[in-house]
Amino acid sequence: MHNYIWASIWVSFAGMLWGVDTGIIGPVTAMPGFADSFGTFSPTIHGLIVSSILLPAALTSFFAGHLADKVGRLNAISTGAAIFAVGAALEAGAVSLAMFIPGRALAGIGEGFFLSTVVVYICEICPPERRGPVASLVQLLTTLGIPTGYFVCYGSVNIKSSYSWRLPFILQAVFAAALACTCRFLPASPRWLIDRGHTSKVGPAMDRLQLDMQQFQEELESAGPAGGDTNEPQARQSYQRLLWVFREDNRKQAFLGMFLMGAMQFSGIDAVLYYAPTVFRQAGLSSTQSSFLASGITGIVIFVSTIPASFLSDNWGRRTLSLWGAVTMAFCMLLIGSLYASGSVHEHQGAARWIVIVTIYLFTISYSTTWSVGFKLYVSEIQPPQTRAAASSLAQSANWVSNFIVALITPIFLDYSSFGAYYLFGISIVLTGLVCLMYMPESRGKSLQTIHREFDESLHVKVLRALGRGLSQWGKKRGAVEVEEPKSTGSSISELSKLEKAKETST
């Protein structure tokens, strides 16, 4: 196995840190030992405790692209992991919520730095034919972290001390510190080295990663100027690149990426994961261990279903996956909401509660095989090389802002309405599916530097082309003159070139 795969696997463990935190925070806050340490709290405070990691992550993710451009992808990941380790240690040692919540906020700062940079690093060191499956490792290990966190809590809940809830955070801190130390020994991204002018280090980095230098050069040359004019005075300034994200030739990709990453959370997936014990108790699993066990099974289902999706990601179109995911997930959420709204779900009897539980599992399977694998990879793929790190960071920031909102409002929704949250998520999924249908071009199997050309053509030109095609077919049927289809600039140039050659031949 090539070294670039080993390097990708190791940095992907940053995703596992995120997954473990997602898996432990819901069960931890439902533990009797946690209530003994901090007292009981309202649904609003519960939402604040869970979501306090997310807003700092969103804010620091906004600047993660600048940090990754300036100090390198691996140094940014290492710095973020170190900060996360300190935050997790504060959570483990907390004696009050006034100490626990700032610890989560500090861990969020670390997450913001490392998580948005990991996929950028992997996409830059992998050849196009391997990029999909390898980059999907981040999501695969994230989903492995979720059941790991659940079952750590399932094993520690019976400890007769505060270590029942402290132990998961201790393990997090140790693992994050190990990741921070080891990332500094991996080879740097060759694309980043070229971008920063460290051309003498590109060869050794390529050798350590076991990459094909000729293929790498061909991929770079095939695109030309993809992300803007590299002769601009501030071309190598990361803050300037942050502004480049919003230039006319880049902002379509950036806005689509931000929307898709935000829409992932409004599907309701983290509402299910963060508050799984509460969700299953509401559906009729009343005991603590039963709800914890059902939560752990949810994590296992997500992990198992992510495995084939990760390895087959380059066999399925990103757009196709997104649309199928929207259809199936919307059906699940609207079905659960309708069962609760009709009063069919009863705590101790009836088939409806089992339908709800099974549908939750079906929803997680659908999410894990479609949006979770496709969106994160797609958002990084579609960005021009010069703005990839900054745009990916902005998209991750949008993801965390949405996650913060969902994590904060979900316990309040569940407390006041058993069905409102499910209808909210179902409608959000439908709207996202419509956006994917209209604005999401396919990226599977295309080189990183050429994908952005799919966005050169504006939506109204695509609409006119479709109308022109329809009118042309209608005209043929009626025996009318064929209607010309609108052509993009590139197509027009090609046609002009053919006409000129024809004229030369005739003369």
Share of the chain above pLDDT 90, in %: 22
Q: Record the tokens describing residue 450, joined without a space.
A: 């050429």
Backbone angles phi, psi at 363, to 5 degrees: -60, -45
8 Å CB contact between 75 and 118: no
Q: Which residues contact 92 (CB under 8 A, 6 or more apart)?
A: 166, 167, 169, 170, 172, 173
8 Å CB contact between 430 and 446: no
Strands (E), 226-269: none
| pLDDT tens-place string over residues 441-457 | 776 666 655 666 666 65
Q: What is the pLDDT of residue 233?
A: 38
pLDDT score of 499 more than 50: no
Mean pLDDT of all residues in 56-68: 81
Angle, CA 104 vertex, CA 106 and CA 69 arms, to 5°: 40
Nearest Cα residue to 266 out of 424, 393, 62:
424
Q: Using 50, 70 and 90 to split pLDDT, how confident is the model at 431?
A: very high
Q: Using 50, 70 and 90 to split pLDDT, how confident is the model at 483?
A: very low
Q: What is the pLDDT of residue 433?
A: 92
Q: Record the tokens describing residue 476, joined without a space.
A: 């043929």
Q: What is the pLDDT of residue 41?
A: 82
Q: Record the tokens describing residue 173, joined without a space.
A: 């801190």
CA distance 111 to 19: 11
Nearest Cα residue to 169 out of 115, 89, 80:
89
pLDDT score of 9 more than 80: yes
| Residue 484 burial by Cβ neighbours in a 10 Å radius (0-12, 13-18, 19+) | exposed
Helix %, strand %, coil % for the chain, to 5?
80, 0, 20
Nearest Cα residue to 11 out of 113, 87, 151:
113
Backbone angles phi, psi at 227, to 5 degrees: -115, 10
Nearest Cα residue to 152 out of 175, 135, 168:
168
Which of 5-9, 66-70, 82-86, 152-156 is predicted most confidently?
82-86
8 Å CB contact between 22 and 371: no
pLDDT score of 276 more than 80: no
Mean pLDDT of all residues in 192-219: 79
Q: What is the pLDDT of residue 191?
A: 83
pLDDT score of 94 more than 90: yes
CA distance 102 to 99: 6
CA distance 447 to 220: 9
CA distance 389 to 116: 8
Q: Using 50, 70 and 90 to split pLDDT, how confident is the model at 192?
A: confident
8 Å CB contact between 277 and 26: yes
CA distance 65 to 117: 7
